A and B are shown apart, each in its own frame.
Chain A
Amino acid sequence: MTTLTDPPKGAFRLSMLLNDTRYRSFTFQGIALVLLIVAVAYLANNLMTNLRELGLNISYEFLGSPAGYDINQTLIDYDSQSSNLRAAFVGILNTLLVAFLACITATFFGVIAGVLRLSNNWLVRKLMAVYVEIFRNIPVLIWIIIIFTVLTAVLPGARSYLGEDPEKDLLFGYFALTNRGIYAPAPIWNAGSGVVVAVFIASIIGVFGYRRYATNLLYSTGKLLPMGWPTLALLIVPTVLAFFIMGQPIGLDAPDPLANRFNLRGGIQIGAPLIALWFALSIYTGAFIAENVRAGIQAVSKGQTEAAAALGLRPRRIMNLVVLPQALRVIIPPLISNYLNITKNTSLAIAVGYADITATLGGITLNQTGRAIECVLLLMLFYLVISLGISALMNVYNNAMKMKER
């Protein structure tokens, strides 16, 4: 605060706490602090009194005791004798899995729909508008339930694939689409498969090296190297060669219709709840992302495109070098919040019986142990950590992408 006259000298008077702007902020903060402490103490006191009256206590010991229930889809070893904590970890991994998958596919759907909404094809444009409006304006919970119901009703039961003379044959001899989920072959890693994987990783590194080299060459000499087919060739050829040289070490474990009278055995099973949740979240969030993408592309002014064209760039290069980098800057911040929304919306797995953290820790464990306060607190802590983590990561990326103003 700058004033022309010197601030009044003299002893500090109590009324200055209210009237003097230099001290008033302390008054306000003091009041706020007292209110906060009083409120927290009041709530804590109520909690303690209530618990004492009921003879309950807050204890996290249940985390160590056996969970006692089984989980359908687990990414780590788990059985009913594992602890509640491990069940919670299974749930955490399942949450992260579906969130990760849904983020990828939602971006895919969103980008396609967003670009097609700007198409000059009237029918496609309208169709995409209908998609976006329908999915954006109906609650995601209803979508999850509807899509789960569709999957259950439309796909055949697993039993139609079973037996000596099944009603349906496996797709390509490897895949079975049932209302229990998708059965797919799992790779079998025999001796020597490590070499193939190593070659594959090496060729990925090679692709990046080549692209870097080509870019540098372009910038330094102006010579343009082809990008598309060398990338593909680098990616595929060495791995395929290694695969055959090592004597086909990687096999496929196809689902077996004969091993069990209820289910296909072997291979990987992707459960219907996961598919329903994954698909529902991606198609719902995809509608939002589509709007972001459209807004982002429209935000790049026409002059930019025209200027690039005037410089003699071809349409694809205009898109890659001029429009997209600028559009991305507009698209990415809302995209981050959409990713956060997906992560938070995975908690709706409860509606379809997918074993995410809300269903294990906040569902069955809570039901069985009755430790409601502890479970809900841990649940919120988990989501908070994940959300803050994602936003922190994305903010770093966002700052890196930000326009460098000079």
Chain B
Amino acid sequence: MKKTVFLGALTVAGLAAGVAAAGTLDDVKARGKLNCGVTTGLVGFAAPDANGEWNGFDVAVCRAVAAAVLGDPTAVEFVPTTGKTRFTALASGEIDMLARNTTWTFSRDVDLKFTFTGVNYYDGQGFLAPKALGVSSAKELDGATVCIQTGTTTELNLADFFRANNISYQPVPIETNAEAIQQYTAGACDVYTTDASGLAASRATFEAPGDHVLLPEIVSKEPLGPLVRHGDDEWADTVRWTLNALITAEELGVTSANIGEMSAAAGNNPEINRLLGTEGNLGEMLGLPADWAAKAIMASGNYGEIFEKNIGESTPIGLARGLNAQWTNGGLLYSPPFR
């Protein structure tokens, strides 16, 4: 602390925030704030509203982790990152976790030394085309000009898809979603490609969303999830099990409406009891208070509630659960048991 104050005075600022290298969990607790990396703005997933409050699907994960660790869902410092800066921000300790539609890939996990703590959204790269173009399949796109939002795995998937189908295309890489949309709506590109969820989110903002269709092809697997640095398993466990708690809560029917009642006293269902800390000592094992998961769920509801509120069918983005339904409903969400 002495060093920090000294540096602060030296730079005429208290700008240097101390982040010790030891354990991220302890750091976060000591700091009283969670630094969470998000996008610079993608409606539904992470975007600041008119009052500067961050909202969205990824944001809710950050808030849940903050609630679990610090007991306060608002104790989050959101750090906007671009595709270029996100990994350095995480590796250098500027952020504690990254929840920014980041695809879990082999090289990111192994070569870049990050630990993916699970999947909070199963996505895939899709294509958005104007109805007037009369295209019904991405395989008909021979010669088309394709707008790509850069900074994720999209460029590679696109190149692979067109090469595999032996058709040509002209890529137009665009930095931000808003500018890509502008190009697309002006007709400077024939189709726009990025994660299907992003396409749906963007289409919702069009003047006439009905004039555009999502092509049936999903050309890649994009398991998006929060990630942390390699080598800090305690912290990785915290983030992983917070996400699992949200998913399990939906599976077990724990919602933000009934959680107050359920976590007040032990009920009949032992797994719910263990989850909410009314039975057993799971929280203690993580180094967190017993009601950590309850706090996380209270932050913005269980997985299903978060989904519905931010990107579900009742929102302008209107995504169906699809792959992101619970395994009991034919989806891929399958949380390991709390035991």
A and B physically associate: yes
**Footprint of B on A, CB under 8 Å?**
50, 53-56, 68-72, 80-81, 149, 152-153, 156-159, 179-180, 260-263, 265, 271-273, 350-351, 353, 355, 359, 363-364, 366-370, 372
Residue-wise interface mask of B (254-269) relative to A, using a CB-CB cutoff of 8 A (1 in contact, 0 not) = 0000000000000000
Q: Which residues of chain A are near B230, meaning CB under 8 Å? A: 54-55
The reply on B231 being an interface residue by CB < 8 A is yes
- Pair B173/A364 contact, Cβ less than 8 Å: yes
- Nearest-neighbour CB distance to chain B for A255, whole angstroms, equals 13
B83 CB–A CB distance under 8 Å: yes
- A72 touching B172 by the CB < 8 A rule? yes
A153 in contact with B186 (CB, 8 Å): yes
**Which B residues are within 8 Å of any A CB, using their own CB?**
21, 83-84, 87-88, 91-92, 107-108, 111-113, 133, 141-145, 150-153, 155-156, 158-160, 162-163, 169-175, 182-183, 186-190, 229-231
Q: Which residues of A contact B156 (CB under 8 A)?
A: 68-69, 80, 368
Give the complex CA separation of A369 and B108 in angstroms.
8
In the assembled complex, which residues on chain A have CB atoms less than 8 Å from the CB atom of B143?
260-263, 265
- Please give me the residue from chain B that is nearest to A351 by CB atom: B175
With contact pairs A179-B188, A262-B143, A273-B172 given, residues A56 and B159 touching in the complex (Cβ less than 8 Å): no
- Distance of A193 Cα from B98 Cα, bound (Å): 60
Known contacts A54-B229, A72-B170: A180-B175 contact under CB 8 Å: no
User: Is B189 a contact partner of A180 (Cβ separation < 8 A)?
Assistant: yes
- 10 additional A-B pairs beyond A363-B173, A367-B84, beta carbons within 8 Å, are A53-B21, A68-B155, A69-B156, A70-B159, A71-B171, A157-B186, A262-B145, A263-B144, A350-B175, A353-B172
Cα distance, A156 to B188, chains bound together (Å): 9
Given A179-B187, A363-B150, the answer on whether A368 and B87 have CB atoms closer than 8 Å is no
Interface centre among A53, A180, A271, A273 (most CB of B within 10 A): A180
**The one of B142, B145, B163, B173 that contacts A355, using a Cβ cutoff of 8 Å:** B173
Task: With CB as the reference atom, state the residue of chain B lying closest to A263.
Answer: B143
On chain A, the residues within 8 Å of B160 by CB distance are 68, 80
- Taking the closest CB of chain B, its distance from the CB of A93, in whole angstroms, is 17
Q: Determine the residue in chain A with the shortest Cβ distance to B172.
A: A353
**Do A262 and B171 form a contact, CB below 8 Å, given A152-B182, A367-B150?**
no
Residues of B within 8 A of A369 (CB): 107
Residue of A nearest to B230 (CB): A55
Neighbouring A residues of B107 by C-beta, 8 Å: 369-370
Can you list 17 A-B contacts with CB-CB less than 8 angstroms, sorted by A residue number? A54-B229, A56-B112, A69-B158, A72-B173, A80-B160, A152-B183, A156-B187, A158-B187, A159-B187, A179-B187, A180-B170, A261-B143, A262-B141, A263-B145, A368-B155, A370-B107, A370-B111
Q: Is the CB of B84 within 8 A of A363?
A: yes
Chain A residues with CB under 8 Å of B141's CB are: 262
Q: How far is the CB of A365 from chain B (nearest CB, A)?
A: 10
Q: How far is the CB of A146 from chain B (nearest CB, A)?
A: 12
Chain B residues, Cβ within 8 Å of A53 = 21, 231
Q: Shortest CB–CB separation between residue B159 and chain A, in angstroms?
A: 4
Cβ–Cβ < 8 Å partners of B189 in chain A: 180
Q: Are A272 and B84 in contact (CB under 8 A)?
A: no
Q: Which residues of A contact B172 (CB under 8 A)?
A: 72, 271, 273, 353
What A residues does B155 contact at CB under 8 A? 68-70, 364, 368
CA gap between A81 and B163 in the complex, in Å:
10
The reply to whether B87 and A260 form a contact with Cβ atoms under 8 Å apart is no
- Please, which residues of chain A bring their CB within 8 A of the CB of B91? 54, 56
Q: Which residues of B contact A272 (CB under 8 A)?
A: 188
Closest A residue to B134 by CB, please name it.
Answer: A261
Cα separation A355 to B150 with both chains bound (whole Å): 12
By a CB distance below 8 angstroms, the chain B residues around A355 are 173
Asked whether A56 and B113 contact (CB < 8 A) given A158-B187, A355-B173, A367-B150, the answer is yes
B84, A158: Cβ atoms closer than 8 Å = no
Report yes or no: B175 in contact with A353, Cβ–Cβ below 8 A. Answer: yes
| CB atoms of A70 and B158 under 8 A apart | yes
